[in-house]
Amino acid sequence: MELSHIDEKGNARMVDVSGKEHTVREATASGRVLMDRKTLDLIVSNGLPKGDVLSTARIAGIMAAKDTYRLIPMCHNLPLDGVTVELYPDLERCSIEIRATVRCVWKTGVEMEALTAASVACLTVFDMCKAVDKNMIIEDIKVLRKTGGKSGTFERQGEDRWQG
Interactions with a copy of itself, residue window 23-42 (CB under 8 A): 24, 31, 38, 42
Task: Residue 111: name the closest of 30, 13, 33 by CA.
Answer: 30
Let me know if 127 is a catalytic residue: yes
Q: Is the CB of 89 or the CB of 106 nearer to a copy of itself?
A: 106
Which residues touch 23 (CB under 8 Å, ≥6 apart)? Answer: 105, 148, 149
Q: Which of 44, 94, 140, 147 binds a copy of itself (CB under 8 A)?
A: 140
Out of 127, 133, 140, 160, the active site residue is: 127
Least distance from C-beta 57 to a copy of itself, angstroms? 9
**Is the Cβ–Cβ distance between 8 and 15 less than 8 Å?**
no
16 is a contact residue toward a copy of itself (CB under 8 A): yes
Length of the chain as a residue count: 164
Beta-bridged to residue 90, according to DSSP, are: 95
Binding region for substrate: 74-76, 112-113
**Which residues are identified as catalytic?**
127
